[in-house]
Amino acid sequence: MKECKLATGEPKLVVESLGVVIGGGRPVVIAGPCSVEDPEMIRRVASFLAEEVRDELGVRNLILRGGAWKPRTHPYSFQGHGLKALEWLKQAGEEVGIPVATEVMDPRDVEQAAELADFLWVGARNMQNTPLLRELGRSGKPVLLKRHFGAKIGEWLCAAEYILAEGNERVALIERGTRGFNEYARFSLDLTVIPVIKKVSRLPLVVDVSHPAGERSLVPPLAYGSLAAGADGIMIEIHPNPDKALSDAKQQLPLEDFKVLASGLKEAGLL
Ligand code: PEP
Ligand code: MN
């Protein structure tokens, strides 16, 4: 079998867009709700991030995340508001000058998503959706590729290779936990993956600290641990009123709790 050599070895790649740099030394924070539920809530999150996290705490390497198309286990759960949610996200980010990221699941949505979002991510469930990966490779947009919860490192890197092979070098990886033996958390976050990816891969690595946790109280330790272990950033779900969230209600942090976490990470020299 041929090696996936574009994703491995040297030189290291840095993903840059609109002043945000992933893999350049300063960790990135990708924060926002699981789903963009309505225009007001995403505006509220955007202005909170701009005023209280960027301007007050000085966390500048910042991306606003928000799901428009949601990959749900249950077909009757909220599936996201689609394209109109992406328009609300873009507008909210533009108003405060923070770049935005969203998930794409369907290759047919890539063109429109690439016009509206600054960073596109591939969710865990679509890590091996190869037509999607190729389309994202051709989009020229920065792509963040999540690891499937049952994928080996080699499979993850070969999935990244599909994007790289189309000539798009703006690719970063997101670890988000795998199925393990800890039934008290949603998934198992293996910190070993951080130094391993640093050693074998050219791609920057962000850790999603919300989805492995599955519940709010577990999120902060995973954020400290991931950054201390050398991750190039964290992705984290935050919501103005998490208990009323339409998806992932238990794990999203209220805005004020995220501010406490971000300021603690700053004080510890991790952000
Ligand atoms: C998400 O980021 O909202 C999400 C669905 O994550 P994952 O694909 O890692 O489950
Ligand atoms: Mn989620």
Residues in the chain: 271
pLDDT per residue over 69-96, tens digit each? 999 999 999 999 999 999 999 999 999 9
Counted domains in the chain: 1
> Is 3 within the bounds of a domain?
no
Mean pLDDT along residues 11-15: 97
pLDDT per residue over 24-61, tens digit each? 999 999 999 999 999 999 999 999 999 999 999 999 99
The mean pLDDT of the chain is: 98
> Is 262 within the bounds of a domain?
yes
- DSSP-assigned beta bridge partners for residue 121: 103, 144
Q: What is the pTM of this model?
A: 0.98
Query: 10 Å Cβ neighbour count for 221?
Result: 12
Q: Give the pLDDT confidence score for residue 52 in this predicted structure.
A: 98
* Nearest atom of ligand 1 to the alpha carbon of 121: 2
> Is 162 within the bounds of a domain?
yes
> Is 35 within the bounds of a domain?
yes
- Count the helix, strand and coil residues of the chain and give each as a percent rounded to the nearest 5: 40, 20, 45
Mean pLDDT along residues 234-256: 98
pLDDT of residue 6 exceeding 70: yes
pLDDT band at 2 (very low <50, low <70, confident <90, very high): confident
Q: Give, using CA atoms, the residue closest to atom 10 of ligand 1.
A: 124
> Is 10 within the bounds of a domain?
no
> Is 6 within the bounds of a domain?
no
Using DSSP bridges, classify how beta strands 100-103 and 62-65 pair: parallel, antiparallel or unpaired.
Answer: parallel
pLDDT per residue over 175-203, tens digit each? 999 999 999 999 999 999 999 999 999 99
* Nearest atom of ligand 1 to the alpha carbon of 71: 5
> Is 255 within the bounds of a domain?
yes
- DSSP-assigned beta bridge partners for residue 31: 64, 236
User: For residue 58, what are the domain limits?
Assistant: 15-266
> What CATH number corresponds to the domain at position 55?
3.20.20.70
176 lines ligand 1 (CB under 6 A): yes
Nearest to 32 by CA among 72, 63, 77: 63
Task: State in Å: Cα 213 to ligand 1 middle.
Answer: 12
67 lines ligand 1 (CB under 6 A): yes
Q: Give the pLDDT confidence score for residue 40 in this predicted structure.
A: 98
Q: Give the pLDDT confidence score for residue 96 in this predicted structure.
A: 98
147 lines ligand 1 (CB under 6 A): no
> Is 170 within the bounds of a domain?
yes
Tell me the C-alpha distance between 29 and 64, whole Å.
8
**Structural contact between residues 28 and 22, judged by C-beta atoms closer than 8 angstroms:** yes
